[in-house]
Amino acid sequence: MASPLSLPPPPEFHDLLAQERLALFIDFDGTLVELAPEPGAIDVPQDMVDRLHRLRDTLDGRLALVTGRALDDLESHLDDITVCRAGSHGVSRLFADGSRLGRAPEGLPDAVVGELREFAAEHGLLYEAKSHGGAIHFRGAPEKEERAVAFARSVAEAHDLHLATGKSIAEIVRPGADKGGAVRAFLSEDLFAGSLPVFVGDDTTDEDGMAAANECGGFGIAVGERDSDNARYHLSGVGAVHQWLEL
Ligand SMILES: O=P(O)(O)OC[C@H]1O[C@H](O[C@H]2O[C@H](CO)[C@@H](O)[C@H](O)[C@H]2O)[C@H](O)[C@@H](O)[C@@H]1O
């Protein structure tokens, strides 16, 4: 596992653009926007959508946002976004015009949602309902991390589901819901065909996206201080991502 400080910065974005048919897959929280105490409290710059649309045009459409958030949640922060996007850790995928790529995934069984909600309520934690998953947040109570992760793991095991952990969050998703799937799905479309995929992200769930980018001849860029198994390059934080992308 590479420490972020041992990884070099990526090549200049405009040089890559000049040399390669680049496709960019970008994580949202912690990569495009700074983390906040709660999911709804993020500060999204007013002109973020216009800036992303410019980036999409620079890449002839080969830009996808790949987030752990549900797509309706992402879209509530990015009004009228017309960029390819994948939500719920990449499992729900839309093209820029809102048409669906692949099948709509299934939500969690009601019993699982009930168990997660009940645990969160009992422990004073935030439960985030998602269309294709469900997450317990413990950013406000870090001392409850171990208990929350153990509980979510036990629920996942009992229902043959998968536990996804990230920054102050434990989430249950359906098996196979990971960001690598979104990268492969977009790359198999004509729009992205033959491109060099680059995945940029700050959290553990982004590792699958970076691994898929590597497999397909591209690379990953780790953001922030977390160690990474799959990144080739490193950027120090959200500001550095914006600067690199000339966003
Ligand atoms: O894949 P991402 O776009 O990075 O989404 C990952 C999760 O992001 C959100 O939670 C994270 O950001 C919150 C706001 O900054 C923060 O309070 C929380 O501690 C972080 O885990 C989002 O709420 C989740 O649904 C995403 O899975």
Structural domain total, the chain: 2
Number of helical H runs and strand E runs in the chain: 8, 12
User: How far is Cα 159 from Cα 113, in angstroms, rounded to an integer?
Assistant: 11
Is 27 an active-site residue? yes
Q: Which of 27, 29, 202, 203 is catalytic?
A: 27
95 and 208 housed in the same domain:
yes
CA 37 to ligand 1: nearest atom: 17
pLDDT digits (tens, 9 = 90+) for 68-88: 999 999 999 999 999 999 999
Residue 123 Cα to ligand 1 midpoint, Å, equals 20
User: Above 90 in pLDDT, residue 138?
Assistant: yes
Residues 184 and 75 in one domain: yes
38 Cβ inside 6 Å of ligand 1:
yes
Q: How far is the CA of 2 from the centre of ligand 1 (A)?
A: 23
Residues 6+ positions from 165 with CB-CB distance below 8 Å: 149, 171, 204
Whole-number Å distance, alpha carbon 231 to ligand 1 midpoint, is: 20
Domain that holds residue 220: 4-104+177-245
Residue 4 has a pLDDT of 64
- Shared domain for 201 and 151, answered yes or no, is no
Q: Which residues pair with 66 in a beta bridge?
A: 86
Q: Read off the pLDDT of residues 108-133 as tens digits, 9 standing for 90 and up.
A: 999 999 999 999 999 999 999 988 88
Residue 77's pLDDT is 98
| C-alpha–C-alpha distance, residues 101 and 98, integer Å | 9
203-223: string of b/e by CB count within 10 Å (b at 16+)? bebbbbbbbbbbebebbbbbb
Please determine, for the modelled complex, whether the ipTM score is greater than 0.95.
Answer: yes
Residues 90 and 184 occupy one common structural domain: yes
Pick the last residue of a domain from 173, 205, 221. Answer: 173
Same domain, yes or no, for 84 and 199? Answer: yes
Give the position of tokens 């999204």: 44
What does the pLDDT read at residue 227?
Answer: 86
Tokens of 61: 């459409």
Whether 197 lines ligand 1, by a CB cut-off of 6 Å, is no
Residue 108's Cβ-count burial label (10 Å; 0-12, 13-18, 19+) is: buried
How open is the CA angle 81-245-184, to the nearest 5 degrees? 65
pLDDT of 176 = 87
Closest C-alpha to ligand 1, atom 5: 68
pLDDT for the residue 1 = 64
Band of pLDDT at residue 202, cut at 50, 70 and 90: very high
Q: What is the pTM of this model?
A: 0.96
Residues recorded for the chain = 247
- For the ranges 32-36, 154-158, 222-226, 231-235, the lowest mean pLDDT is seen at 222-226
Output the CA 89–ligand 1 centroid distance in Å: 11
Name the β-bridge partners of 2.
228
Report CA-CA distances (Å) from 24 to 56, 66, 94, 154, 155: 9, 10, 15, 36, 35
Single residue among 141, 173, 205 that ends a domain in this structure: 173
**CATH number of the domain enclosing 162:** 3.30.70.1020
- Which has the closest alpha carbon to 95: 61, 54, 50? 61
pLDDT (0 to 100) of residue 39: 96
Is residue 143 over pLDDT 70?
A: yes
Using a 6 Å cutoff on CB, does residue 127 contact ligand 1? no
If you write DSSP's letter for every residue of 7-70 in order, what string do you get?
SPPPPPHHHHHHHS-EEEEE--BTTTB---SSGGG----TTHHHHHHHHHHHTTT-EEEE-SS-
Measured from the CA of 38, which atom of ligand 1 is nearest? Answer: 17
The span from the CA of 107 to the CA of 92, in Å, is: 11
- Dump pLDDT digits (tens) for 30-45: 999 999 999 999 999 9
134: Cβ below 6 Å to ligand 1? no
pLDDT of residue 131: 86
Is it the case that residue 163 has pLDDT exceeding 80? yes
